[in-house]
């Protein structure tokens, strides 16, 4: 079955739409979308960003035309590049939308960033973390991600198998309520923003709420599952137990290296997030300063929670960190 150059067949009943790389701005990107072809309904894992909306609709139109069936969308997490297709799916296909309990508020809001919810996870000011004031970041995001309107009646994903044999699997770390979908029979794991194959397997610590320790535990847990086919939220899938094992090890090494380097930096002198970010440029925690800051922010949160560093707010209202 060939629909488009971006569509590949993982198995008889699993199709993967790999989103093209963003051309305009890096924010204007879409996550991948997986189509699970069940007997009675087609289930989409994530609905992509605005940039991919037309293509996803065309694909779904063709699938439903071939064998008419109900449409459902289940989410790995509530980031806009994975959920922006929802309102159209609901309008056009009366699709049901499902997400984990913690992700539901994000999915319903359909917002580029839900700052009220992220705020409680932030240990520095918005400006320090995003390297620009809030109104500016929100404006840029609206411009580049497009607008989406809120939806309601998102249902909570329950445990147990879906009709194609996939089970939801908790994969915390990237964003609140982040989950994946695993089919043990053939070892296919749909893992959302666990790691990024486009950036040397960098773990998905790319949100204010990203959690360093949970990410480490999740990567270790996935290693034990030994998937044979790993479908990520971005980039091409990873194939084969060995290659996937190596990728996850690589990801774990990045966590360790980042933690070590942050401690090294703070050993010599107290630093704020901005200074740490420019100091750690060569660690490859990007792309770009904001993503690097997000990553380092998650390291700092974890070190602070373990009482290994302390935080002081300077006269210029910057958060400065030092080793205990």
Residue with the shortest CB distance to Zn ion: 79
**Spatial separation of the C-alpha atoms in residues 20 and 2, rounded to whole Å:** 17
29 contributes a contact to Zn ion by CB under 5 A: no
- Which residues, 160 to 199, sit near Zn ion by CB under 5 A? 193
Does residue 234 touch Zn ion according to CB under 5 A?
Answer: no
Write the burial class of residue 318 (CB in 10 Å: 0-12 exposed, 13-18 middle, 19+ buried). middle
Quick check: 320 binds Zn ion (CB under 5 A)? no
Is residue 216 a contact residue for Zn ion (CB under 5 A)?
no
CA angle 255, 256, 257 (to 5 degrees): 95
Cβ at position 193, least distance to Zn ion in Å: 4
Identify which range of 46-54, 78-86, 143-151, 274-282 contacts Zn ion by CB under 5 A.
78-86
Judged by CB under 5 A, the stretch of 19-27, 76-84, 131-139, 278-286 that binds Zn ion is 76-84
- Interface residue with Zn ion among 53, 72, 79, 234 (CB under 5 A) is 79
Residue 102 near Zn ion by CB under 5 A: no
Please say which residue, 261 or 293, places its beta carbon nearer to Zn ion: 293
CB closer to Zn ion out of 193 and 320: 193
Binding footprint of Zn ion on the chain (CB under 5 A)? 79, 193
């Amino acid at each position: 079955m060939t629909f488009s150059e971006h569509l590949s067949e993982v198995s008889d009943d699993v199709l993967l739409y790999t989103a093209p790389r963003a051309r305009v701005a890096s924010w204007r990107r879409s996550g991948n979308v997986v189509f699970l072809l069940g007997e009675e309904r087609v289930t989409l894992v994530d609905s992509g960003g605005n940039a991919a909306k037309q293509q996803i609709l065309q694909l779904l139109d063709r699938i439903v035309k071939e064998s008419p069936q109900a449409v459902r969308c289940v989410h790995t997490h509530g980031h806009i590049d994975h959920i922006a297709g929802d309102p159209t799916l609901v309008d056009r296909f009366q699709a049901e939308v499902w997400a984990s309990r913690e992700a539901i508020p994000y999915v319903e809001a359909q917002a580029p960033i839900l700052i009220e919810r992220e705020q409680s996870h932030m240990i520095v000011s918005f400006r320090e973390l995003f390297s620009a004031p809030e109104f500016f970041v929100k404006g840029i995001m609206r411009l580049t991600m497009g607008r989406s309107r809120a939806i309601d009646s998102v249902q909570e994903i329950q445990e147990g198998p879906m009709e194609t044999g996939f089970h939801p699997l908790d994969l915390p770390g990237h964003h609140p309520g982040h989950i994946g979908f695993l089919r043990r029979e053939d070892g296919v794991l749909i893992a959302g923003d666990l790691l990024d194959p486009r950036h040397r397997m960098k773990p998905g610590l790319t949100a204010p709420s990203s959690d360093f320790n949970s990410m480490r535990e999740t990567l270790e847990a996935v290693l034990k599952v030994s998937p044979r086919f790993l479908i990520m939220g971005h980039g091409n899938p990873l194939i084969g137990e060995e290659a996937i094992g190596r990728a996850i090890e690589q990801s774990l090494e990045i966590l360790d290296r980042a933690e070590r380097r942050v401690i090294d930096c703070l050993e010599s002198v107290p630093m704020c997030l901005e200074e740490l970010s420019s100091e750690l440029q060569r660690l490859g925690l990007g792309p770009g300063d904001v993503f690097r800051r997000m990553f380092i922010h998650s390291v700092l949160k974890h070190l602070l929670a373990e009482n290994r560093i302390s935080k002081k707010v300077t006269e210029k209202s910057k958060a400065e960190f030092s080793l205990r």
